[in-house]
Amino acid sequence: MTAEAPHDARSWCPTCHAVFRGSFARCPRDGAVLDTGDDDPLVGTILAERYQIESLIGEGGVGRVYKARHLRMSRQYAIKVPFGELGYDAKVRARFANEAEATSRLRHPNVVGVVDVGETPQGLLYMAMDLAEGASLADLIERDGPMDAARVLHLIRQVARGLEHAHERGLVHRDLKPENVIVEPDADGTELARIVDFGIALFREEHGTSRGKLTTEGIVLGTPYYMAPEQAVDGEIDHRVDIFALGLMTYELLAGTLPFTGSPIDVARQNLGAQPPRIAERVPGLAVDPLLEALAFRMLEKRPADRPQHLREVIGLLDAIERDPTRARAFLVAAGSPIAAEAASPDGDGDA
């Protein structure tokens, strides 16, 4: 599991061990004078009487993630702890509880599961998760650039399977992006992709839609670069917002870049109203698998009704692209894909 490296100076409470960002002199929770320095107060301590905190993995926008060992089971976990200034905020606590409840429903090899959640006597929130030791998909894109078709198929299919598992249990991720997919070596030497961060996951009744319980007035939850059009305008959303985000990730893995650039607001507006450029236009000279590109564009349809309606359809198409491209092309052409129609038939025939 990866997280962003710490940036600005941090202070920490010697009593509750909370880490703070910003100009805090005292801990709002217990009034203790905060210490400063590079040392992390939790490393080397025992959390909740059962987790030996071994090292800091990194930090993100909400808190820090640690590698820990369970004292009784001698098993390693990742422990997420919110920053001190956020740990007593009602909205953050609600999001933290939401992520714990959402992920506790999931048991799948392509999802990082939550195994424990709680609060120390000193008021420190924590969440224990499966330890996924690898790089984020965002790191791999930055390092490797455009990926070949076989690798894209392998990674996107795994993400789709993990999402399908969540959708079958009534959960919509709502913040799917490469930063929230960890890729680690599998036992057979291949890449294992695992989805993390269900912090703004949406609980929905079967066949239902919602705006989500954690959305507040004037605030749309999610990452603008990967938002579906209906999500960007705070419209009615369902599991198909995750399918749109998966389409963007497929495009990005193939091209090494997203279809649109600009500020988060600019990109969200383009996702809302502009047609994505073909990859050959976005990255001149780059040749990609036309059937994978066609599938990405189908997932990127502006109207949810025009996208694949369920991830089992996406997974079936990924399997067909790999094993029976003639059938995959015929399906995509029948669905109205101009990219698939333009592509040469895998049988050497130009007709569908």
Instruction: Give the integer Cα–Cα distance in Å for 99 and 110.
Output: 16
Instruction: Give the integer Cα–Cα distance in Å for 134 and 143.
Output: 14
Q: Are 76 and 131 in contact (CB under 8 A)?
A: yes
Residue 210 corresponds to which amino acid?
S
User: What token pair was written down for 330?
Assistant: 């015929």
Instruction: Give the integer Cα–Cα distance in Å for 140 and 184.
Output: 11
Identify the CA nearest to 163 among candidates 228, 89, 102, 88: 102
The alpha carbon dihedral of 290, 293, 298, 302 has a sign of: negative
Identify the active-site residue in 8, 40, 144, 175: 175
DSSP symbols for 240-277: HHHHHHHHHHHHHHHHSS-S--S-HHHHHHHHHHSPPP
Identify the CA nearest to 34 among candidates 6, 14, 7, 9: 14
Instruction: Give the integer Cα–Cα distance in Å for 255 and 277.
Output: 11
Active site residue 319: no
Count of positions (residues) in the chain: 352
Instruction: Identify the bridge partners of residue 29 per DSSP, sorted by sequence position.
Output: none
Instruction: Give the integer Cα–Cα distance in Å for 93 and 185.
Output: 33
Instruction: Give the integer Cα–Cα distance in Å for 128 and 179.
Output: 19
Instruction: Give the integer Cα–Cα distance in Å for 223 and 226.
Output: 6
Instruction: Give the integer Cα–Cα distance in Å for 85 and 99.
Output: 19
- Hey, which residues are catalytic here? 175
